[in-house]
Amino acid sequence: MTLIFAHRGYSSAFPENTMRAFMEAEKAGAEGLEIDVQLTKDGEVVVIHDEKVDRTTGSTGYVKDFTFKELRKLDASYLHKTLLKKEPIPSLEELFEWMSTTNLVCNVELKNIIFRYEGMEEKIIELVRKYNLADRIILSSFNHYSIIYSYRIDPEVEIAPLLAEGLYMPWVYASSIQAKGIHPKYIAATNEMVKSCMENGIAVRPYTVNKKADMLRFFEVGCSAFITDDPVKALRIRKQFERKSKK
Ligand code: G3P
Ligand code: CA
């Protein structure tokens, strides 16, 4: 079965990368979450997509220049004008603590291309160990050096490179860096590529799959999982697809 991972949580309906969006994704029945992490000035791993807080909180500045206490005062539901309740930027620890009470898998994307965030890998792995989540966490990044470094710190933690473009024989590359999966942009994930990866024991979890036709293509090819902003739509389409294929 193709698993459904909620991109930044259930982000088509709730403020991205907030506990609300994660809890709503779990309530809806998504099997996994995809989240983005950065590091604060005082070394807290926090869940936010951009290097700057501007777009999602309406405040200004780089995450790296805020202490966690300062960052907590911002409202990550800024883009959702109709929501009455404010949503704080979560720490990774807060998310992991809650996750340990669920069965969710979580794909943590390390956003360390623009700023290196020295020491972030160690902090993430420490939290994975603290909450005993090694078998439910997948570390991904466009910074492949960072996930390879993470694997060297702890080979129990699964890694998956993000691939924005088509790569020739990605299963060979994945195996060479000890990755059990790849996360390609959905356009680059052709049926042939998905099949070859999976035949070679490499899971494929394309991002960000929001259109019905693309979802159906990945269900039909039996893709390991995909990452979507709208897990409710994906779950509905998967149910219809499964019903049809049983006939
Ligand atoms: O997981 C891959 C995807 O999330 C990468 O793109 O910009 O949404 O983090 P972005
Ligand atoms: Ca991401």
Q: Are 123 and 42 in contact (CB under 8 A)?
A: no
Return the active site residues.
Answer: 7, 49
Of 85, 89, 51, nearest in space to 68 by CA: 89
Cα–ligand 1 centroid distance for 76 (angstroms): 18
| Strand intervals (E) in 15-164 | 32-39, 45-47, 105-110, 137-141, 158-163
Task: Determine which residue's CA is closest to atom 1 belonging to ligand 1.
Answer: 207
Looking at all shown ligands, the one closest to residue 32's CA atom is 1
Band (pLDDT 50/70/90 cuts) for residue 247 is: confident
- From the list 161, 154, 156, 195, the residue with the least C-alpha distance to 175 is 161
Degrees (nearest 5) of the Cα angle 92, 111, 39? 50
Query: Can you give the pLDDT at residue 67?
Result: 98
Q: Measured in angstroms, how far is the CA atom of residue 165 from the centroid of ligand 1?
A: 13
CATH number where 183 lies: 3.20.20.190
Task: Name the closest-CA residue to atom 3, ligand 1.
Answer: 207
The structural domain count of the chain equals: 1
What pLDDT is stored for residue 28 in this prediction?
Answer: 98
Domain coverage including residue 242: 3-246
Contacts of 208 (CB under 8 A, 6+ apart): 7, 186, 227, 228, 229
Confidence of residue 121 (pLDDT cuts 50, 70, 90): very high
Contact indicator for 138, 170 with CB cutoff of 8 Å: no
pLDDT at 82: 81
Query: Which pLDDT belongs to residue 81?
Result: 80
- For residue 31 and ligand 1, the question of a CB distance below 6 A is answered with no
User: pTM of the predicted model, to two decimals?
Assistant: 0.97
User: What pLDDT, in 10s, does the model give residues 224-242?
Assistant: 999 999 999 999 999 999 9
Confidence of residue 39 (pLDDT cuts 50, 70, 90): very high
Cβ count within 10 A of residue 69: 10
Q: What is the pLDDT of residue 220?
A: 98
Q: Which two tokens stand for residue 212?
A: 């019905």
Instruction: Calculate how far, in angstroms, residue 196's C-alpha sits from the geometric centre of ligand 1.
Output: 23
What whole-number distance in Å separates Cα of residue 182 and Cα of residue 34? 14
